[in-house]
Amino acid sequence: MVQTIGQEDVMKKTIAGMLFFITLNAFAQGLLPAWNEGPTKQALLSFIDKTTTEGSPEFVPIPERIAVFDNDGTLWSEQPIYVQIAFTFDRIKALAPQHPEWKTTQPFKAVLENDIKGVMATGNKGLFELIAATHAGIDTETFQSMVTHWLKTTPHPRTGRPYTEMVYQPMLELLAHLESRGYKTYIVSGGGIQFMRPWTEMVYGIPPERVIGSSIKTKFEVVNGQPRLVGTPEIQFIDDGENKPIGIQERIGRRPVMAFGNSDGDLEMLWWTTAGKGPRFGMLIRHTDDVREVAYDRKSSIGRLDKALDMAPEKGWVVADMKNDWKEIFPPKK
């Protein structure tokens, strides 16, 4: 396109004016009240505005408005341990009377002795053994009820609140705001799909078909003339690291426009998302608040945030600092 300098100038001014108007507009609406005013909130709101405002040069059509969220540590608390691990430990304890051999076999022994370090020392292999022992052989509908019942009856060990209230209020607001702007929100988590789906719709407004996660293999069987789907002890997919973009491509079939995470396990998801053409947005959540949450930041034994944080400036990923950027961390008690 041949253009004189004068035309370019006019264009730049028009776009600048449009963005200024969009930003003003977002602030005036009092959106995302649990986020403190500042560049992080502004980056979020301006991006959403410019990609959803008709006529904006970075407008994204509704079917392509995909936003993906890690779950543990991004949408809800992952401290002191992943909630699914807490559930799995409780299941092991409940099943222990039928398995006397567990008293002397790792990783079961460590679980029964509440020795979390001992469990962690058995590594991924140990965790998978625990998951297989507790998740397999159960049909999908029964497993769902077990999760729902456990969440209703088990308080968070530190706060005494239900785990489903240990979710981040600023992220709940963001999910709702994105939905209201035609974005489809997805969970892309290392957690198990079977563990997440029973409650994500109620808690986050994210229906089961928009939950991507790790899974065990399922088999089809006919019992008493009735078909059912039953978990097997075999791992099917670990939805972490490089597998996150792979899982997204496989399930959604489109590159997301926005991606949110809080650990190096989210690095490839953010990278692949923001490497796409057109407007893209990546955000990392830093756990920096030792008073209202847990300040583990880069150093946690679970979900390290290290490489991704180092890459953030070069890739243009926005970093949300929980202590400074979040006015509220958890929703008010019900």
Cα–Cα distance between 64 and 183 in angstroms, integer? 8
280 binds its own copies (CB under 8 A): no
Cα–Cα distance between 108 and 102 in angstroms, integer? 5
Cβ nearer to its own copies, comparing 110 with 211: 211
For its own copies, the binding residue among 26, 167, 171, 193 (CB under 8 A) is 193
Cβ nearer to its own copies, comparing 170 with 231: 231
- State both tokens at 162: 């239900």
Cβ nearer to its own copies, comparing 41 with 65: 65
94 binds its own copies (CB under 8 A): no
Cα–Cα distance between 72 and 86 in angstroms, integer? 13
Cα–Cα distance between 185 and 334 in angstroms, integer? 25
For its own copies, the binding residue among 150, 163, 183, 272 (CB under 8 A) is 272
For its own copies, the binding residue among 12, 13, 219, 299 (CB under 8 A) is 219
Q: How far is the CB of 141 from its own copies (least distance, A)?
A: 8
315 binds its own copies (CB under 8 A): no
218 binds its own copies (CB under 8 A): yes
Q: Concatenate the DSSP letters of all residues of 270-286 into one string.
A: HHHHHTSSS--EEEEEE
140 binds its own copies (CB under 8 A): yes
Between the alpha carbon of residue 62 and those of residues 54, 66, 114, 115, the distances in Å are: 11, 9, 48, 49
Q: Are 259 and 244 in contact (CB under 8 A)?
A: no
- Under the rule (CB under 8 A), what is the footprint of its own copies? 63, 140, 184, 193, 197, 201, 207-209, 211, 215, 218-220, 226-229, 236, 242-243, 245-246, 249-254, 268, 271-272, 275
